[in-house]
Amino acid sequence: MNATDYLNRSALYRKLVYGPYREFAGVYAAKMSNEGLGRHCTWRSLSLFRDLMDWHVGNGHAPQDLSEVHVDRFLEHRFKHWKPDSGDRSALRRLLLALREKGLIPAALPILRSEHEKIVDVFGQYLSTERGLAAATMGSHKLLSLRFLREVCPLGVDGFAALTPQTVIGYVERHALDGSADSGKAMCGVVRAFLRYLHLKGFISMPLAGCVPSIRRWRLAGLPTFLPPEKVQKVLDACDRTTAMGRRDYAVLMILAKLGLRASEVSNLNLDDIDWQSGTILVHGKGRRQATMPLRHG
């Protein structure tokens, strides 16, 4: 399915052409149809267009003021919350080109790059040509590196001499909890790679990459270690003890709660393992080990 077929059926496109950005949406759709884009690319481009315009107008700008500066700020904002896609930037470049061809927005102004941005641009080229990173990965590296550089070196190159391990560690401590543990780990990896690059190219004399602390992401760390007694009682009360299945579930939960057995140990139990006369239970543990435990009453 090409762009034209998709647009004829798309509920998203119908909302856009009857919405506040109808003129922009129509021009953008015609551009994609003329270029013969596929269904998925057209859908993603329209979704990106809607999010961009909502963000742009929501920040107090007129639709006709749209430019590369606003697109860059929008993508920087977006990449903080969603995983970047390699086609996002090219899709929005196509939008700006289409709007300028129709005279709906002003012509592009010369882009003046700051010293921080120039350093990060060269870093991006290094990641692409020498490290072979994909465009999406390179884009996220550049955004995180630019944020780091602006905060710890506000003077640009002149501030590199003042970089110390304490400065780097302080930055990580301030931003490690900005998102999830995974995003914190990703941030540390980017800062480490950027510092390694700065040392390799002679921007800094001290190898600071090794002082970036690691953020541990333990598996199942978010699960509670135990349930308080009142919650255990709620689980037990949920068993319907008037049925055979409910009595079975109640017995299993009581063994887990009273004896502290593992789920695998409970699943391996059978009636022969229970000695009713002596009041003990034979538990089959890991490594074929066995242990006799007393049956608790009450």
From first to last of the 298 residues of the chain, give the pLDDT tens digit: 677 888 888 899 999 989 999 999 999 999 999 988 888 889 999 999 999 999 999 999 999 999 988 998 999 888 877 776 768 888 999 999 999 999 999 888 766 788 888 999 999 999 999 888 888 888 889 999 999 999 999 888 888 888 899 999 999 989 888 877 788 888 999 999 999 999 998 889 889 998 898 877 666 556 666 778 888 899 899 999 999 999 989 988 888 888 888 888 888 888 888 888 888 888 888 777 888 888 766 5
* Whether this model's pTM surpasses 0.75: no
Do residues 178 and 184 lie in contact, with contact meaning Cβ atoms separated by under 8 Å? Answer: yes
Do residues 100 and 108 lie in contact, with contact meaning Cβ atoms separated by under 8 Å? Answer: yes
Q: Which of 184, 193, 168, 191 has the alpha carbon at shortest distance from 217?
A: 184
Alpha helices in the chain (DSSP H): 3-9, 11-17, 22-35, 39-58, 68-79, 88-101, 115-129, 135-152, 165-175, 181-200, 229-237, 244-259, 263-267
Residues shown for the chain: 298
